[in-house]
Amino acid sequence: MEKRILKVLRIVFVICLAILLVEVFYLTYVNFFKEKKSIYFDAINAVTAGDNNNYIVVGSNNNNDKHYEKAKIAKYNSKKEKIFEVLYNKGYNGAFFDVALDEDSYVAVGSYEASDDEHKAGTRRALIVKFDNTGKILFDKSFGVLDNSKFVGIEVLNDGYLVVGQSIYENTTLGFSNAGGAYLVKLDKSGNIIWRSNYGGNKAAIFNDVICAQGYIYVSGRDSSRVGLVNKYDMDGNLIKSTGYEYTDSLGFTSLVAVDDGIVVAGAKKTVDDNNNSIVDALLVKYDFDCNYISEKSYDNGNMERFNIVIRDSNGNLLVVGNEALADTNNDVNVLLYNGIIGKYKSDLSDIKLEKYGEQRDDHFTDVILVNNDYWVVGYSSYEDGSYLSKFIVYSDALKVLEVQ
């Protein structure tokens, strides 16, 4: 009898031990993935001046949820105190890429992935959302069904908006039934299509930025052969001239600005040396208003460099921000890390000054605006745990760092 009781106790003990081990394993497993899930992502893609000395930033934020990034818009005052932040909750993996002030409202463009109950799950839809000055949505419109589309640039007009972007496949909701590629679309103040024009007919083509100058529309991007591109249109969307620049990197021209005697575009120049190694240098190219080439200026520090944004300051000079890639010498593998770069050039592309910023492990400069006599630069920094945190830096007119936040 005692032996039978001992045997039963041994069995009970083994079962309890097994349950305990399973519970310990489960908790360890769950906590591990909770830690992985808590990786934070908060990036700023663009900034613009707002109303009453406030400013608006847009980008993406995962709200501590690794799997679901949301497009975000936030408003700050001149002391950089947050007034509001809104996450756009439709779909998932969303991001705003550009934003513009329209009287007392803000219009953001970007994209998001459709959910199971909306259109075709997993496809990316181009997005435009208009917010009032408190962050309330006035309207939101999305375009695309099976096409993986995005809006990446916006220009405000008196009677609507010009938006540019890309569609990987045909976009029937934008009216392109047989081709994808880069597109320029005019919307009214409620987000309805007035006219549209596509270019390239291939998923490689994209328009990255749009401005109006001299009574015409100018866009920058890349064509279907991944060649840097500057196009000129009339105000009804009819193409007047297209000019290519053969030696850009895969992003093409990502920004453009009008100067007194033409258009300046920003990007990177890619060439190959005698040993068949790729050389990528930050690049500015100047064209006249008929898209004829005038001159160019490149920046080479021996690594991969790129100018992402070019604007014009109050003195008529050009201000650029971008990145410089560096090899990570702390790892056994060749991992590319980045410093932010900011530079000032005259309108004839002669250089004035250029500075690098590398306080954190990996810094990216994505946009810049002029505030009084200072330059406010935005972007994000990555960290060893995989997190991305938004970055905000104030530079003086002499390109000296005044504040980091």
Measured distance CA(264)–CA(94) in Å, rounded? 30
Between residues 331 and 141, which one has the greater pLDDT?
141
pLDDT given for residue 43 in this prediction? 85
Q: Which of 39-53, 172-186, 388-402 has the highest mean pLDDT?
A: 388-402
pLDDT given for residue 51 in this prediction? 82
CB 209 within 8 A of CB 229: no
Question: Three-state secondary structure along the chain?
Answer: CHHHHHHHHHHHHHHHHHHHHHHHHHHHHHHHHHHHHCCCEEEEEEEEECCCCCEEEEEEECCCCCCCCEEEEEEECCCCCEEEEEEECCCEEEEEEEEEEECCEEEEEEEEECCCCCCCCCCEEEEEEEECCCCCEEEEEEECCCCCEEEEEEEEECCEEEEEEEECCCEHHHCECCCCEEEEEEECCCCCEEEEEEEECCCCCEEEEEEEECCEEEEEEECCCCCEEEEEECCCCCEEEEEEECCECCCCCCEEEEECCEEEEEEEEEEECCCCCEEEEEEEEEECCCCCEEEEEEECCCCCEEEEEEEECCCCCEEEEEEEEEECCCCCCCCEEEEEEEEEECCCCCEEEEEEECCCCEEEEEEEEEECCEEEEEEEEECCCCCEEEEEEEECCCCCEEEEC
Q: Does residue 175 carry a pLDDT above 50?
A: no
CATH class of 254-405: mainly beta
Among the ranges given (127-131, 288-292, 399-403), the one the predictor scored with the smallest mean pLDDT: 399-403
Residue type present at position 249: D
Q: Does residue 267 carry a pLDDT above 60?
A: yes
pLDDT tens, residue by residue, 46-95: 999 988 889 999 999 886 555 578 999 999 988 888 999 999 988 888 99
Measured distance CA(289)–CA(291) in Å, rounded? 5
Q: Which of 162-171, 286-295, 297-306 has the highest mean pLDDT?
A: 286-295
Task: Give CA angle at 356 (308, 96), nearest 5°.
Answer: 30
Between residues 64 and 238, which one has the greater pLDDT?
238
Q: What percent of the chain has pLDDT over 70?
A: 78
Please, what is the average pLDDT of the chain?
82
Q: For residue 365, what are the β-bridge partners?
A: 379
**Could you tell me the residue ranges of all domains in the chain?**
1-33, 40-203, 254-405
pTM of the model: 0.85
Q: Does residue 375 carry a pLDDT above 80?
A: yes
Q: Does residue 25 carry a pLDDT above 90?
A: no
Instruction: Identify the residue whose tokens are 């992935």.
Output: 113
Cβ-in-10-Å burial (0-12, 13-18, 19+) of 156 comes to middle
